[in-house]
A and B are shown apart, each in its own frame.
Chain A
Amino acid sequence: MTDKATIQAGWEPRIAAFLCNWCSYAGADLAGVSRIQYPPNVRVIRVPCSGRINPLFVVKALQSGLDGVLVSGCHPGDCHYISGNLYARRKFALMKNLLEYVGIEPNRVHFSWVSAAEGIRFAQLLDGVIESVRELGPTTKMIKKLEAVQ
């Protein structure tokens, strides 16, 4: 964990949010059109379904230097594809436990359900996620130190 004193002034966490097209992305959209403020630290990536998200996306995001990852899909029972989120739940449980087991801070990786009607909840969730990542400081583990050869 990064010592708070070493965090550079002006550092802001950067977070990738993988949102499913039908619920969570629409929820984020609702937050937007309802003019609900949420922090700009998040980069939203829209995917068809939480079942589409390869758990390696999460690891790859951490390797690429993102400070945190949020994965979000429809509530159980609400999946547009009936059960994609329920398969995803098993995959993510295993991946999150594995990452924590090897020593990656549990608060770097978040999973949550957000429906299309939960604009306020989406904003609150993001506030919480970003706050928890801010407390951890910049990511140091798993990050790739070599620059990619262009």
Chain B
Amino acid sequence: MSYQEDVRREAAKLLDEKTVHLFIGYADSDLPLKTAAHAIRSSADADQLVWNPACTANLAALLPDLLKRPEGFRGEWEPPKVGILAKGCVSRSIVGLIKANQIPRDALTIVGIACDGMVSRHWVVDQLGTAELVDATIDGGKVSVRASDGTEKTFDLDEALAPNCRVCTHRAAVIHDVAIGEAAEMDVDEAARYESVRAFAEKALDDRWAAFEEEISRCIRCYACREACPNCYCNECFAEETEPKWIGVTTDLSDLMLFHLGRAFHQAGRCVDCGACVAACPQAIDLRLLNQKINHDVQTLYGGEVSVSLEQPEPLLQFRMEDDEGFMTDPG
């Protein structure tokens, strides 16, 4: 079901009422099956906003830069009032950012939207072989695409769904001021959610390493995954730190691996599996390979899903005396 009209109406209303200075949503981009984050400041522009299964970006990633006191700013900082369209994962990222003191809750008007999952553009492109995707339309549960060699294909939305959306547990926003639509109930148990982790861990050690090498070797270090991620708000990323210099500016595979291990580890206890990094990757690297492993461990060892409520403490900012020591050498 499409709620595009409701999104436009709600955005226009908030802007007209002057509840918000700007509204962040999605707009069509130049590429088929890809939308871009888009901010509007006037209700006249509301018809630029779209809502469809290509809205993969995590809009929460824009908030810290918008709302944080600019560097060197003197005097009383009044953050702009921002309206934001939030599907389930975006709302969870907002919860995480609020808890990390990166954004103030009262500057936000969260328009929650029921999400039916997003299309994996990488999967669709894969189906076209070497031909390029030139046109796509999404209508009535089907996505029809045309390739540069003239072939046309139609897929069910269900088969083209992004892997993270298949195991999504929160399709409706976990916090919101306004809600649009009703999300379907999701029945995903923990085993199904982490099936990919289990399958990968079952391989032999050296096969896992070979697969990891193969995946990471495609990285061109554009850092699009970092830019797309709402958790990557550090003023200086470890990838660019020079004291100490974590990552050499080389083409050595170990430097790429260090970046990806570090990036994944920095998401520990904060990743909501929104899939924005995967969608942003121009090389179609399966970044969830690492993220989901850490998500799995955080959930099974330290309990619960992260960033589903403002009250819940962060898993890595707390401990229990009886935490697991199975990984240790001769504990005791």
Contact = CB atoms under 8 A, between A and B. Distances in A.
A4 to B, nearest CB: 15
Nearest to B301: A93
Contacts of B248: 144, 146, 148
- Which of A91, A94, A105, A128 has the most chain B CB within a 10 Å cutoff? A94
A1 interface: yes
A39 to B, nearest CB: 15
Interface residues of B, number: 49
B215 to A, nearest CB: 9
Interface in A95-119: 95-105, 110-113
A143 B253 CA distance: 9
Interface string A67-97: 0001000001100000100110111111111
A93 B327 contact: yes
Nearest to A107: B329
A90 B330 CA distance: 17
A97 B205 contact: no
Nearest to A103: B209
Contacts of B206: 1, 103
Contacts of B327: 92-93, 96-97, 111
A95 to B, nearest CB: 6
Contact of A83 (B208, B211, B268, B319): B319
A145 interface: yes
6 contacts: A63-B258, A86-B321, A90-B302, A102-B209, A103-B209, A129-B329
Interface of B: 197, 200-201, 205-212, 238, 244, 246, 248, 250-255, 257-258, 261-262, 264-265, 268, 290, 293-294, 297-298, 301-302, 315-317, 319, 321, 323-325, 327-332
**Across the A-B interface, the 10 shortest Cβ-Cβ residue pairs:** A103-B209, A103-B208, A86-B319, A110-B329, A102-B212, A146-B252, A144-B254, A112-B329, A96-B327, A63-B254
